[in-house]
Structure 1
Amino acid sequence: MIQEFQTPPAHHLYYAIFLLIEKECEVEIGKLGTYSFQRGVYVYVGSAKRNLKKRIERHICIEKKKRWHMDYIRPYGTILKIITYDDSLSECELAGKFIAKGKILVPRMGSSDCKCPSHFIYLGTPALPLTDEYIKSFNYK
Protein backbone atom coordinates (compact mmCIF):
# COMPACT_ATOMS: atom_id res chain seq x y z
CA MET A 1 0.00 0.00 0.00
CA ILE A 2 1.24 3.51 -0.78
CA GLN A 3 2.28 5.20 2.44
CA GLU A 4 3.50 8.50 1.04
CA PHE A 5 3.95 9.69 -2.50
CA GLN A 6 7.16 11.54 -3.34
CA THR A 7 7.28 14.56 -5.65
CA PRO A 8 7.94 13.29 -9.19
CA PRO A 9 10.68 14.86 -11.32
CA ALA A 10 9.54 18.10 -12.98
CA HIS A 11 9.89 16.66 -16.50
CA HIS A 12 7.50 13.76 -15.78
CA LEU A 13 4.03 14.15 -17.30
CA TYR A 14 2.52 10.65 -17.13
CA TYR A 15 1.72 8.14 -14.43
CA ALA A 16 0.66 4.53 -13.95
CA ILE A 17 -1.28 3.63 -10.82
CA PHE A 18 -1.34 -0.08 -9.98
CA LEU A 19 -4.55 -0.94 -8.12
CA LEU A 20 -5.40 -4.21 -6.39
CA ILE A 21 -9.08 -5.16 -6.28
CA GLU A 22 -9.39 -7.96 -3.72
CA LYS A 23 -13.09 -8.81 -4.14
CA GLU A 24 -15.16 -9.00 -7.29
CA CYS A 25 -17.41 -5.97 -7.49
CA GLU A 26 -19.82 -4.10 -9.73
CA VAL A 27 -19.17 -0.39 -10.06
CA GLU A 28 -20.88 2.37 -12.00
CA ILE A 29 -18.15 4.27 -13.87
CA GLY A 30 -19.87 7.59 -14.57
CA LYS A 31 -21.49 7.78 -18.02
CA LEU A 32 -19.67 4.62 -19.14
CA GLY A 33 -22.13 2.45 -17.20
CA THR A 34 -21.90 -0.35 -14.66
CA TYR A 35 -19.15 -2.95 -14.99
CA SER A 36 -18.01 -6.06 -13.16
CA PHE A 37 -14.43 -6.09 -11.93
CA GLN A 38 -12.56 -9.34 -11.29
CA ARG A 39 -10.16 -9.79 -8.40
CA GLY A 40 -6.70 -8.77 -9.48
CA VAL A 41 -4.25 -6.05 -10.35
CA TYR A 42 -5.21 -3.19 -12.65
CA VAL A 43 -3.22 -0.28 -14.01
CA TYR A 44 -4.62 3.17 -14.68
CA VAL A 45 -2.55 5.33 -17.05
CA GLY A 46 -2.99 9.09 -16.91
CA SER A 47 -1.32 12.42 -17.43
CA ALA A 48 -1.09 15.87 -15.94
CA LYS A 49 0.57 18.60 -17.95
CA ARG A 50 0.61 20.77 -14.83
CA ASN A 51 1.18 19.58 -11.27
CA LEU A 52 1.50 15.83 -11.65
CA LYS A 53 1.98 15.38 -7.90
CA LYS A 54 -1.35 17.04 -7.13
CA ARG A 55 -3.20 14.86 -9.67
CA ILE A 56 -1.71 11.68 -8.21
CA GLU A 57 -2.42 12.78 -4.63
CA ARG A 58 -6.04 13.28 -5.69
CA HIS A 59 -6.17 9.71 -7.03
CA ILE A 60 -4.68 8.40 -3.77
CA CYS A 61 -7.51 10.03 -1.80
CA ILE A 62 -10.60 7.82 -1.56
CA GLU A 63 -13.32 10.26 -0.47
CA LYS A 64 -13.77 13.03 -3.03
CA LYS A 65 -16.16 14.40 -5.63
CA LYS A 66 -16.07 12.11 -8.65
CA ARG A 67 -14.49 13.77 -11.67
CA TRP A 68 -12.19 11.23 -13.36
CA HIS A 69 -13.06 7.62 -14.21
CA MET A 70 -10.47 6.50 -11.65
CA ASP A 71 -12.51 8.23 -8.91
CA TYR A 72 -15.32 5.67 -9.32
CA ILE A 73 -13.18 2.54 -8.91
CA ARG A 74 -10.69 3.92 -6.36
CA PRO A 75 -12.77 3.08 -3.23
CA TYR A 76 -12.81 -0.59 -4.26
CA GLY A 77 -9.06 -1.06 -4.50
CA THR A 78 -5.73 -0.60 -2.78
CA ILE A 79 -2.95 1.28 -4.55
CA LEU A 80 0.09 -0.98 -4.73
CA LYS A 81 2.49 1.18 -6.69
CA ILE A 82 2.67 4.47 -8.59
CA ILE A 83 5.22 5.12 -11.30
CA THR A 84 5.73 8.41 -13.13
CA TYR A 85 7.18 8.78 -16.62
CA ASP A 86 8.75 11.43 -18.80
CA ASP A 87 7.58 12.11 -22.36
CA SER A 88 9.69 9.41 -24.06
CA LEU A 89 6.35 7.86 -24.98
CA SER A 90 2.93 9.50 -25.09
CA GLU A 91 0.23 8.63 -22.58
CA CYS A 92 -1.49 6.57 -25.28
CA GLU A 93 1.70 4.69 -26.19
CA LEU A 94 2.26 3.89 -22.52
CA ALA A 95 -1.31 2.62 -22.17
CA GLY A 96 -0.75 0.52 -25.29
CA LYS A 97 2.23 -1.20 -23.65
CA PHE A 98 0.01 -2.29 -20.76
CA ILE A 99 -2.89 -3.25 -23.06
CA ALA A 100 -0.52 -5.59 -24.93
CA LYS A 101 0.07 -7.54 -21.69
CA GLY A 102 -3.36 -7.19 -20.13
CA LYS A 103 -7.07 -7.18 -20.79
CA ILE A 104 -9.59 -4.36 -21.21
CA LEU A 105 -12.66 -4.83 -19.02
CA VAL A 106 -14.06 -1.29 -19.32
CA PRO A 107 -13.84 0.17 -22.83
CA ARG A 108 -12.98 3.91 -22.93
CA MET A 109 -12.19 4.10 -19.20
CA GLY A 110 -9.70 6.93 -18.76
CA SER A 111 -9.51 7.48 -22.52
CA SER A 112 -12.51 9.66 -23.30
CA ASP A 113 -10.22 12.36 -24.69
CA CYS A 114 -8.36 10.11 -27.16
CA LYS A 115 -8.93 7.15 -29.48
CA CYS A 116 -7.42 4.49 -27.20
CA PRO A 117 -9.60 1.52 -26.30
CA SER A 118 -8.97 2.18 -22.57
CA HIS A 119 -6.42 3.53 -20.10
CA PHE A 120 -7.55 1.12 -17.35
CA ILE A 121 -6.17 -2.36 -17.92
CA TYR A 122 -6.57 -5.64 -16.04
CA LEU A 123 -3.13 -7.22 -15.58
CA GLY A 124 -3.94 -10.43 -13.76
CA THR A 125 -4.33 -12.10 -10.41
CA PRO A 126 -3.24 -10.56 -7.11
CA ALA A 127 -0.18 -12.82 -7.11
CA LEU A 128 1.29 -10.77 -9.96
CA PRO A 129 4.62 -9.38 -8.73
CA LEU A 130 5.08 -5.66 -9.37
CA THR A 131 8.84 -5.89 -9.42
CA ASP A 132 11.13 -3.47 -11.23
CA GLU A 133 11.89 -6.30 -13.66
CA TYR A 134 8.18 -6.65 -14.48
CA ILE A 135 7.83 -2.89 -14.99
CA LYS A 136 10.91 -2.85 -17.26
CA SER A 137 9.27 -5.58 -19.37
CA PHE A 138 7.19 -2.80 -20.89
CA ASN A 139 10.39 -1.44 -22.48
CA TYR A 140 9.88 1.88 -20.80
CA LYS A 141 12.25 3.73 -18.50
Structure 2
Amino acid sequence: MFLPEDKEITVGKLGTFLFPKVLYVYVGSAKRNIKNRVERHIRLEKKYLCHFNYIRPHMKIIDAQMYPGKEGECGLFVRLREEAKGEITVRGFGSSDCRCPAHLFFSRDSQQQGMNY
Protein backbone atom coordinates (compact mmCIF):
# COMPACT_ATOMS: atom_id res chain seq x y z
CA MET A 1 0.00 0.00 0.00
CA PHE A 2 1.08 3.55 -0.48
CA LEU A 3 0.27 6.51 1.73
CA PRO A 4 0.29 9.65 -0.46
CA GLU A 5 1.09 12.07 2.39
CA ASP A 6 2.28 12.04 6.00
CA LYS A 7 -0.80 11.50 8.12
CA GLU A 8 -1.81 10.99 11.74
CA ILE A 9 -4.11 7.97 11.94
CA THR A 10 -5.88 6.53 14.97
CA VAL A 11 -5.60 2.74 15.01
CA GLY A 12 -8.36 1.57 17.33
CA LYS A 13 -7.21 1.11 20.92
CA LEU A 14 -3.52 1.19 19.91
CA GLY A 15 -3.69 5.00 19.67
CA THR A 16 -2.85 7.73 17.17
CA PHE A 17 0.37 7.56 15.19
CA LEU A 18 2.14 9.55 12.51
CA PHE A 19 2.38 7.45 9.36
CA PRO A 20 5.02 8.76 6.93
CA LYS A 21 4.44 9.01 3.18
CA VAL A 22 5.99 5.71 2.09
CA LEU A 23 5.22 2.21 0.84
CA TYR A 24 3.68 -0.15 3.44
CA VAL A 25 3.48 -3.93 3.62
CA TYR A 26 0.89 -5.69 5.74
CA VAL A 27 1.21 -9.43 6.34
CA GLY A 28 -1.91 -11.29 7.35
CA SER A 29 -3.16 -14.84 7.20
CA ALA A 30 -6.34 -16.68 6.44
CA LYS A 31 -6.85 -20.33 7.22
CA ARG A 32 -9.62 -20.46 4.59
CA ASN A 33 -11.34 -18.11 2.16
CA ILE A 34 -8.22 -16.05 1.46
CA LYS A 35 -9.87 -14.46 -1.59
CA ASN A 36 -12.75 -13.19 0.56
CA ARG A 37 -10.32 -11.90 3.20
CA VAL A 38 -8.28 -9.93 0.66
CA GLU A 39 -11.42 -8.54 -1.01
CA ARG A 40 -12.71 -7.40 2.40
CA HIS A 41 -9.41 -5.67 3.20
CA ILE A 42 -9.53 -3.82 -0.13
CA ARG A 43 -13.12 -2.58 0.37
CA LEU A 44 -13.54 0.80 2.02
CA GLU A 45 -17.07 0.36 3.40
CA LYS A 46 -17.04 -2.20 6.21
CA LYS A 47 -17.20 -2.71 9.93
CA TYR A 48 -13.78 -2.25 11.54
CA LEU A 49 -12.78 -5.68 12.85
CA CYS A 50 -8.99 -5.39 12.79
CA HIS A 51 -6.16 -2.83 12.87
CA PHE A 52 -5.84 -2.87 9.09
CA ASN A 53 -9.36 -1.42 8.67
CA TYR A 54 -8.28 1.83 10.37
CA ILE A 55 -5.48 2.59 7.91
CA ARG A 56 -7.12 1.27 4.74
CA PRO A 57 -9.14 4.42 3.91
CA HIS A 58 -5.90 6.43 3.81
CA MET A 59 -3.85 4.00 1.72
CA LYS A 60 -3.71 3.25 -1.99
CA ILE A 61 -3.55 -0.50 -2.59
CA ILE A 62 -0.70 -1.19 -4.99
CA ASP A 63 -0.61 -4.98 -4.93
CA ALA A 64 -1.85 -8.01 -3.03
CA GLN A 65 0.17 -11.21 -3.04
CA MET A 66 -0.46 -14.65 -1.60
CA TYR A 67 2.26 -16.95 -0.36
CA PRO A 68 2.14 -20.68 0.44
CA GLY A 69 1.81 -21.40 4.15
CA LYS A 70 5.28 -22.89 4.62
CA GLU A 71 6.73 -19.90 6.52
CA GLY A 72 3.54 -18.91 8.26
CA GLU A 73 2.40 -15.35 8.82
CA CYS A 74 5.11 -14.50 11.35
CA GLY A 75 7.99 -16.02 9.39
CA LEU A 76 6.84 -14.27 6.22
CA PHE A 77 6.66 -10.93 8.03
CA VAL A 78 10.22 -11.34 9.35
CA ARG A 79 11.61 -12.30 5.94
CA LEU A 80 9.86 -9.55 3.97
CA ARG A 81 10.76 -6.91 6.55
CA GLU A 82 14.44 -7.92 6.48
CA GLU A 83 14.51 -7.96 2.66
CA ALA A 84 12.94 -4.48 2.46
CA LYS A 85 14.90 -3.05 5.40
CA GLY A 86 11.45 -2.30 6.78
CA GLU A 87 10.60 -0.19 9.80
CA ILE A 88 7.68 -0.58 12.18
CA THR A 89 5.37 2.40 12.68
CA VAL A 90 2.97 0.89 15.22
CA ARG A 91 4.09 -1.78 17.64
CA GLY A 92 1.41 -4.43 17.99
CA PHE A 93 -0.27 -3.62 14.65
CA GLY A 94 -1.93 -6.81 13.40
CA SER A 95 -0.05 -8.99 15.85
CA SER A 96 -2.34 -9.20 18.86
CA ASP A 97 -2.52 -12.99 18.50
CA CYS A 98 1.24 -13.67 18.37
CA ARG A 99 4.56 -12.43 19.79
CA CYS A 100 5.65 -10.44 16.73
CA PRO A 101 6.35 -6.73 17.22
CA ALA A 102 3.84 -6.00 14.39
CA HIS A 103 2.60 -7.27 11.04
CA LEU A 104 2.86 -3.90 9.27
CA PHE A 105 6.09 -2.28 8.15
CA PHE A 106 7.13 0.47 5.80
CA SER A 107 10.10 0.78 3.50
CA ARG A 108 11.95 4.00 2.78
CA ASP A 109 13.84 2.11 0.05
CA SER A 110 10.78 2.49 -2.19
CA GLN A 111 11.43 6.25 -2.35
CA GLN A 112 15.11 5.76 -3.07
CA GLN A 113 14.32 3.37 -5.92
CA GLY A 114 12.14 5.98 -7.61
CA MET A 115 8.78 4.37 -6.95
CA ASN A 116 6.18 7.07 -7.40
CA TYR A 117 2.62 6.08 -6.66
Give the TM-score of the pair, scaled to structure 1: 0.75
Q: Percent identity at matched positions?
A: 43
Count of residue pairs brought into register by the alignment = 112
| Cα distance in 2, alignment partners of residues 25 and 81 from structure 1 | 21
- Structure 1 alignment gaps of length 5 or more: 1-18, 131-141
1:65-93 superposed Cα distances (whole Å, 9 cap, x missing partner):
11111100000010001110111211000
| Cα distance in 1, alignment partners of residues 65 and 86 from structure 2 | 17
1:24-39 matched pairs, under 5 angstroms:
24-39=6-21
Q: What is residue 44 of structure 1 aligned with on the other side?
A: 26
| Cα distance in 1, alignment partners of residues 103 and 114 from structure 2 | 20
Contact between 1:39 and 1:126, CA under 8 Å: does it hold in 2? no
Aligned AA (2:80): F
| Cα distance in 1, alignment partners of residues 92 and 11 from structure 2 | 10
Q: What is residue 64 of structure 2 aligned with on the other side?
A: 82
Q: Secondary structure at the match of 2:57?
A: helix
1:23-61 superposed Cα distances (whole Å, 9 cap, x missing partner):
111111011111110001000000010100000000000
| Cα distance in 1, alignment partners of residues 104 and 10 from structure 2 | 14
Q: Secondary structure at the match of 1:92?
A: helix
CA RMSD of aligned residues (A): 1.5
Q: As a proportion of its length, which structure holds more helix?
A: 2
Aligned AA (2:79): K
**Structure 1 residues 26 and 36 mapped into 2: Cα distance closer, same or farther (>3 Å)?**
same
**Structure 1 residues 61 and 129 mapped into 2: Cα distance closer, same or farther (>3 Å)?**
farther
- Structure 2 alignment gaps of length 5 or more: none
| Cα distance in 1, alignment partners of residues 4 and 109 from structure 2 | 9
Shift in Å at residue 126 of structure 1?
Answer: 5.2
Q: What is residue 11 of structure 1 aligned with on the other side?
A: none
